[in-house]
Copies of this chain bind each other. A is one copy, B any other.
Amino acid sequence: MKTLIVHAHPEPKSLNGSLKDHAVSVLEAAGHQVRVSDLYAMGWKAAADAADYGPHASSPLKVPLDSGRAFEAGELTADVRAEQEKLLWADTVILQFPLWWYTMPAILKGWVDRVFTYRFAYGVGEHSDTKYGERFGEGTLAGRRALLSVTVGGPAPHYAARGINGPIDDLLFPIQHGILYYPGLEVLPPFVVYGGDRLTPEQYPAVAAAWEQRLLTLETTEPIPFRRQNFGDYEIPALHLKEGLEPAGRTGFGLHTRA
């Protein structure tokens, strides 16, 4: 197994840093290859702008078109090309981050914004009246797996089905479905640590053991059964889920996961 860990926390001695270090140790001890993109340590540039798209960026800038042209011309910046190469090298991608304001930290969003360019992660395949690209089950990263490892400050009940923050599965849907599944990654159920801000040293070993168990079963864990776009579940061109496919009472994001 070849695993890329993308890590997004400013403090190496944080819970996130410990989980990242533990993942490297566990996976390497099991004979796997591991590469780490430690975004804070790398000084990752978060804001996508014209400088990302080489000497031929258009003016006015068109982010999708310019990113796709620069990708195809090999004119993306070296830091972005290196991340795209790591994604193509890996068969498993782990994003390690704290949930800040209900989503990923800015530095990790900036990794997505800059690395997931047009023609690489979107704008792939035929776009016409009868097909809207190869995505959601197809795409550049098809055949690979992804996993979120997320620490959450608040307690688990606040993220339950009736919890005030909304269900954790719905909060993570725009990342798991919209960012990872979109270019073809199969997404495993997330590893979530609640109450991360109050975790004591005495409680950490149980968290580390649970994480180790997930790491050692990456190859056998069933992915979330998101529906594939181009295999009959959706009306074309509206891309509405066809009536009657969902279990009773399923609405919203939940429509897009098979029963």
A176 to B47, CA, bound (A): 22
Q: Total interface residues on A, using CB and 8 Å?
A: 69
- Count this chain's copies in the assembly: 2
Q: Confirm or deny: A109 has a beta carbon within 8 angstroms of a beta carbon on chain B.
A: yes
* B170→A229 contact, CB < 8 A: no
| Bitwise interface map of A from 101 to 123 toward B, beta carbon under 8 Å scored 1, else 0 | 11111110110110010000000
| Bitwise interface map of A from 161 to 186 toward B, beta carbon under 8 Å scored 1, else 0 | 11111110011011001110010000
List B contacts of A105 (CB < 8 A).
47-48, 109, 113
List B contacts of A249 (CB < 8 A).
249, 251
Q: A164-B234, A179-B101 are in contact. Are A14 and B256 (CB under 8 A)?
A: no
Q: A10-B47, A14-B60, A178-B101 are in contact. Are A229 and B112 (CB under 8 A)?
A: no
Q: Confirm or deny: A89 has a beta carbon within 8 angstroms of a beta carbon on chain B.
A: no
* B46→A40 contact, CB < 8 A: no
Q: Confirm or deny: A204 has a beta carbon within 8 angstroms of a beta carbon on chain B.
A: no
**Which of B63, B100, B256 is close to A164, meaning CB atoms less than 8 Å apart?**
B256
**Which of B14, B47, B50, B101 is close to A46, meaning CB atoms less than 8 Å apart?**
B47
| Bitwise interface map of A from 1 to 39 toward B, beta carbon under 8 Å scored 1, else 0 | 000000000111110000000000000000000000001
A49 to B42, CA, bound (A): 13
**Residue of B with least CB distance to A167:** B252
Q: Confirm or deny: A241 has a beta carbon within 8 angstroms of a beta carbon on chain B.
A: yes
27 contacts between A and B (CB under 8 A): A10-B50, A10-B61, A10-B63, A11-B50, A11-B60, A12-B60, A13-B60, A14-B60, A14-B61, A46-B46, A47-B106, A48-B100, A48-B106, A63-B98, A101-B178, A104-B109, A105-B109, A106-B110, A107-B110, A161-B252, A164-B241, A166-B256, A170-B173, A249-B249, A249-B251, A251-B251, A251-B254
Given A102-B179, A162-B240, 7 more pairs with CB closer than 8 A: A46-B107, A100-B113, A106-B110, A157-B237, A161-B251, A249-B249, A249-B251
A interface residues with partner B (beta carbon < 8 Å): 10-14, 39-40, 44, 46-50, 60-64, 98, 100-107, 109-110, 112-113, 116, 132, 136, 153, 155, 157-158, 160-167, 170-171, 173-174, 177-179, 182, 197, 229, 234, 237-241, 249, 251-256
